[in-house]
A and B are shown apart, each in its own frame.
Chain A
Amino acid sequence: MNPDSYLYLSAILFSLGALGVLIRRDAIVVFMCIELMLNAANLAFVTFSRMHGRLDGQIFAFFTMVVAAAEVVVGLAIIITVFRTRRSASVDDANLLKY
């Protein structure tokens, strides 16, 4: 079986995640789309790990998952704090800072 297929899947998943980050407005859903991108990277790591016959890629995938867990903790804490003071989790409402 051609390992390309797994990498196509990973590449399209990554792009879909990036698309979501660009078009979504709710901070939590934006974060979900970032999770999609991280998963795409993990899939690429595991595929390459299989192709090279070396475990480094799988180890990297473990680390990514733990880092994602830490990120979600930090992210939700920030999002919920912002929500409490402002009653909205939409990224577009975060407009006190101008461009």
Chain B
Amino acid sequence: MNVTTASVQFTGSAQSYLSPTGVEVAFILIGLVVLGSALLVVTVRNLVHAALWLVVCLGGIAGEYLLLGAELVAWVQILIYVGAIVVLLLFGLVLTRAPIGHTDELDVKHRAPAVVVAAGAAGVLVTVVVDAYRKVWLEPRAAVPLGTGAANGAALFKYWVLPFETLSVLLLAALVGAIVISRRGADGDSDEPESVGTD
């Protein structure tokens, strides 16, 4: 449902300004793929399929970055998100022995209010955007040197050195912490609890 209304909005806003150029057509197509796959991530009952649709969605977003001229962000998106994060999530699903196939996983009691809340949030955010940037124009074919690796690297190490270094600390902390919380004995024979109590 969301997909169709969204597509109407996209074509509508595009037609009101300009005949569709290649960029716009590409945007609309990729946008539909992104929204459709995101909807599937949220609704599909098969957990592994949800993870696979997430790959499609994140890949589509990388495409949008390319259209916006942010080439480095796009490739990093593919490398980190599609290449690392989703693979880790799939490992997680395998390790927790997620049921393959249909589950009753989606049958939450509060589904209706959740849908209302999300629709409300979407409404507010879309209205905000309409209000804010009605008059701004973006020439798709204009050369965009902004997103190159050189420019990003220069900005990163000129102005964002401290957060960058802090990020390395964050990765170290996450690494050490993850090992600590999941570490077991070296023998690792059986992890069957003899008595699972709450203490």
Interface residues of A (CB under 8 A from B): 1-9, 11-20, 22-26, 28-29, 31-33, 35-36, 39, 42-43, 46-47, 49-51, 53, 55-56, 58-59, 61-63, 65-74, 76-81, 83-86, 89-90, 92, 96
Contact = CB atoms under 8 A, between A and B. Distances in A.
Contacts of B28: 5
Counting contact residues on chain B (CB < 8 A from A), the size range is: 35 or more
B27 A55 contact: no
B93 to A, nearest CB: 6
Interface in B121-143: 121-122, 125-126, 128-130, 133-134, 136-140
A16 B118 contact: yes
B72 A1 contact: no
Query: Which interface residue of B14, B121, B175 has the most chain A CB atoms within 10 A?
Result: B121
A1 B114 contact: no
Contact of A73 (B9, B38, B50, B175): B175
A15 B92 contact: no
Interface of B: 2, 6, 9-10, 13-14, 17-18, 21, 23-24, 27-28, 31, 34-35, 38-39, 41-42, 47, 50-51, 54, 57-58, 61, 64-65, 68-70, 72-73, 76-77, 80-81, 84-85, 88-89, 91-93, 95-98, 103, 105-106, 108, 110-111, 114-115, 117-119, 121-122, 125-126, 128-130, 133-134, 136-140, 144, 146-147, 151-152, 155-156, 160, 163, 167, 170-171, 173-175, 177-179, 181-182, 191, 193, 196, 198
A67 to B, nearest CB: 7
